[in-house]
């Protein structure tokens, strides 16, 4: 049965370490169920509560927007989850705690990935990183907000929901933490631990008004309220994207300069990992 307004249903309360004490939900949820990690798949093998809640059917973007607006009261971050049969419903997830993310910094992650790749690359490959070359340029300067981040996120949720996407709810204090908390493994072929990527998402939230809107088996969809608009700034941001998700550039336009033109002034960033 649909959940009554103002209450967290039992399967939602289980998502919280404190059982959702003091949390409220003013939106009726569709039918759905909590998703538990498969003990043979999760990293810790000691997760004592479900990782997230998943709706049975696709939801409209309007529902995502209402839940996003209620996040401060509910503590539930909504995600539009593609490919709902696998890995979500069979528990191929490895949840971590948000506290783990505090141990990582976006700039350190970028420098490490850059240095590791350069160490293994040949001289011709390093040319793809022009104009930066073998030395990481570090994090880009923040962008300038052109809209309220929540408004841009609601718009993008409306776009993505047209594909018929189920809803996921994650007990997370901020959207950037949701992927790690739910145990998403979409970038495992690039970085076997999602937590450092969540640290990057936190930084993008703060510098570019990014909001995590959707995810798939190996994809990620972000809204962007402060995108880079100048060429050099976009190029610097492209360098960050390369360390976050190399496949988007290497198997896409091929060079940082060409990729920078693709993201310049755009209010949505899409990533996919091979």
- Asked if pLDDT for residue 40 goes beyond 80, the answer is no
Number of residues that make up the chain: 274
Residue 225 has pLDDT above 90, yes or no: yes
Distance CA 171, CA 8 (A): 12
Mean pLDDT rounded to a whole number for the chain: 90
Q: Scan for tokens 């990620």, then name that residue.
A: 220
Phi-psi region of 212 (alpha: psi -120 to 50; beta: other; left: phi over 0): beta
Q: Please give the average per-residue pLDDT across 40-64, as a whole number.
A: 83
How many other β-carbons are positioned within 10 Å of the β-carbon of residue 212? 27
Q: Which of 47, 6, 16 is nearest to 169 (CA)?
A: 16
Predicted local confidence at residue 49, as pLDDT: 86
- For the stretch 203-220, pLDDT in tens is 999 999 999 999 998 999
Cis peptide before 87 (omega within 30 of 0): yes
- Predicted pLDDT of residue 191: 84
For residue range 10-20, list pLDDT tens digits in order: 999 999 999 99
Extract the tokens encoding 210: 């990014």
For residue 250, the model assigns a pLDDT of 81
When pLDDT is averaged across residues 161-186 and rounded to a whole number, the result is 95
The two tokens of residue 6 are 């103002």
User: What tokens were used for 198?
Assistant: 């969540």
65-95 residue pLDDT tens: 999 999 999 999 999 998 655 666 666 788 9
Nearest C-alpha neighbor of 257 from the set 243, 227, 236, 272: 236
Q: What is the pLDDT of residue 228?
A: 98
What pLDDT is recorded for position 29? 95
- The conformation of residue 88, written as its DSSP 8-state character, comes to I
Rounded Cα gap, residues 84 and 175, in angstroms: 19
* Residue 257, both tokens: 């300069």
Does the pLDDT at position 241 exceed 90?
Answer: yes
User: For residue 41, is pLDDT > 70?
Assistant: no
Residues 6 or more apart whose CB falls under 8 angstroms from that of 134 comprise 118, 126
């Amino acid at each position: 049965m649909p959940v009554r307004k103002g209450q967290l249903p039992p399967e939602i309360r289980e998502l919280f370490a404190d059982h959702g004490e003091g949390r409220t939900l003013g939106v009726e949820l569709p039918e759905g169920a909590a998703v538990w990690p498969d003990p043979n798949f999760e990293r810790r093998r000691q997760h004592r509560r479900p990782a997230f809640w998943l709706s049975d059917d696709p939801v409209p973007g309007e529902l995502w927007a209402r839940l996003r607006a209620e996040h401060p009261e509910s503590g539930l971050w909504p995600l539009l989850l593609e490919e709902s049969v696998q890995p979500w419903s069979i528990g191929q997830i490895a949840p971590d705690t948000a506290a783990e993310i505090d141990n990582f910094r976006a700039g350190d992650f970028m420098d490490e990935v850059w240095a590791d790749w350069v160490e293994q690359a040949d001289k011709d490959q390093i040319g793809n990183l022009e104009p930066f070359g073998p030395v990481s340029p570090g994090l880009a300067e923040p962008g300038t907000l052109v809209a309220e981040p929540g408004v841009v996120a609601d718009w993008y949720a409306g776009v993505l929901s047209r594909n018929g996407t189920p809803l996921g709810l994650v007990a997370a204090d901020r959207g950037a933490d949701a992927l790690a908390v739910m145990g998403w493994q979409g970038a495992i072929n690039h970085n076997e631990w999602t937590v450092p990527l969540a640290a990057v998402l936190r930084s993008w939230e703060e510098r570019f008004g990014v909001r995590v809107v959707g995810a798939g088996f190996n994809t990620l969809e972000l809204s962007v309220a402060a995108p880079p608009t100048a060429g050099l700034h976009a190029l610097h941001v492209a360098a960050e994207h390369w360390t976050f998700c190399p496949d988007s550039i290497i198997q896409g336009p091929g060079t940082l300069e060409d990729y920078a033109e693709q993201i310049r002034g755009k209010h949505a960033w899409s990533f996919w990992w091979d």
